[in-house]
Amino acid sequence: MAGDAAGAFGAAFSDMFGRLQGLTLPQEQVAGLQGEYLKSIGQIWNDTLQRLQQGESKPLPDRRFAAQPWLQNPAAAYTAQMYLLNARTLMQMAESVQGDAKTKARIRFAVQQWVDATSPSNFLAFNPEALAKAVETKGESIATGVKQLMEDLGKGHVSQTDESVFEVGRNVATTEGAVVFENELFQLIEYKPLTAQVHARPMLFVPPCINKYYILDLQPENSVIRYTVEQGHRVFVVSWRNPDDSLKDKTWDDYIEQGPIRAIEVVRQISGAETINTLGFCVGGTILSTALAVLAARGEQPAESVTLLTTLLDFSDTGILDIFVDEASVQLREMTIGAQAPAGPGLLKGQELATTFSFLRPNDLVWNYVVGNYLKGETPPPFDLLYWNGDSTNLPGPMYCWYLRHMYLQNDLKKPGKLTVCGEPVDLRSIEAPFFVYGSREDHIVPWKAAYASTQILQGPTQFVLGASGHIAGVINPPAKGKRSYWTNTKLPAKADDWFAGATEHPGSWWTAWADWLKPHGGKRIAAPKTYGSRAHKAIEPAPGRYVKAKA
């Protein structure tokens, strides 16, 4: 059986060698890799024979094959080792391909996807853990797995958590508040004060429109919104509508004018404050910054401060997402769902975006659940963040296509006056406010150096803080947990590496540093309001409102 497995792997690997050789691989490197490969096969075979003779079971260097059934079954262990050898060698070949940086990145990504998908752990016949569980449960695990597979096919996505446990407004998005304004694009939520006095200047959060806002309000203990309210700020949050066909023709201009510009106006009306503190997260930070630049062009400076969390203003470095963007791909989107599409504008379906982001980390966010849910018949444990991750959001085609072309493809936002939005030339340098810019060190969506690049564009006093972990986990890091760390440096050199070289690491959450920075911008303390909204903007319904509950 082991010999048959070796032959099958060898045939597949030889075929892949041939395919990659057509991509201008240096022949001397190919020959070297082939030699190392054959040598490694011999070593694996000898190790397997030795283990059979001595009865030893050495752990394999991959958590997919760490369980005892993989070690106790010599054929399974051999198969896993051959797979890991093939995977390693294929990635070495992908690294050796000659070509421009984007072509090489695309090849690496494609090979990595193929490698991850073909892991023997993903197939029932090759997974000794799943087979052992099937025997132990007398086939019940397989029956449950098939049932869960059919349910997920109906949902249109692989379940990453037990979705039945969560309900928006019941045990996620639970901070008390009320909707005080709504239009066709968003609802504005005001939150109930948790202190007797609040800062005179209110706080407006602009979350990303490609996700639901409650990533900032998952549970009371990890809610950015609740934490900000606890610091004595009067907090308002934009809750974007999940677009349906009635909104499929909305543009970037619509999102700027009817989104943050309108929200800023309403918050100022309700609070009576001339200026307000603002925060944008991810795409929400791009939208907020654009809106403030539009208002600056109109002679208005409503922001007392601006906080940007994992936000791109300079799209020179978009990380792994760069492989999906070129002129041809953007034109295809424009012709199918854009403003000039022959069949008319359409929607970018939320599930398409969610699937794309999941396959950026396929072993963690796809195949792990395929194995657990379907092969082993296990129900994934409840996890609020993964529930939010699966609660996808549509986007209007014209808005998305404009964003894709002018930001990701052409990187126009950082160029003063290059873009015209809402009839005004956009110049980010015209925003007269202090900035708090945050990046996450392991972020694969907004690389931290790309977040840092904003400091070289903005003209107001700017502080950059770098947090540990990734795009979401780095941001959602409450101080009470005592987890991770963050870095600070008051100097802002041109290069991000130079900033980091002079930075100081601090244990715990960056939230405390942000709270200290934000406090003086809040203004004097006044008695907390006893009711939501104002005479002109009365409470419409309790938070979290209707819009956030709409499914894509």
- Residues catalogued as catalytic: 282
137: left (phi over 0), alpha (psi -120 to 50) or beta: alpha
- The answer to whether residues 551 and 388 touch, using CB atoms and an 8 Å cutoff, is no
Q: How far apart are CA 529 and CA 92, in angstroms?
A: 62
Q: Using alpha carbons, select from 464, 162, 425, 175 the residue that is nearest to residue 311.
A: 464
- The answer to whether residues 201 and 523 touch, using CB atoms and an 8 Å cutoff, is yes
Q: C-alpha distances in angstroms, 291 versus 17, 84, 308, 408, 426?
A: 51, 49, 13, 18, 9
Token pair in block for residue 225: 């919104």
Q: Using alpha carbons, select from 185, 12, 172 the residue that is nearest to residue 87.
A: 12
- The answer to whether residues 190 and 233 touch, using CB atoms and an 8 Å cutoff, is no
- The answer to whether residues 302 and 275 touch, using CB atoms and an 8 Å cutoff, is yes
- The answer to whether residues 296 and 432 touch, using CB atoms and an 8 Å cutoff, is yes
Q: Cα angle vertex 83, ends 79, 87, to 5°?
A: 175
The beta strand positions in 346-440, using DSSP E, are 347-348, 395-396, 420-421, 424-425, 435-440
Q: How far apart are CA 51 and CA 57, in angstroms?
A: 7
Which DSSP helix (H) or strand (E) runs through 308? strand 303-309
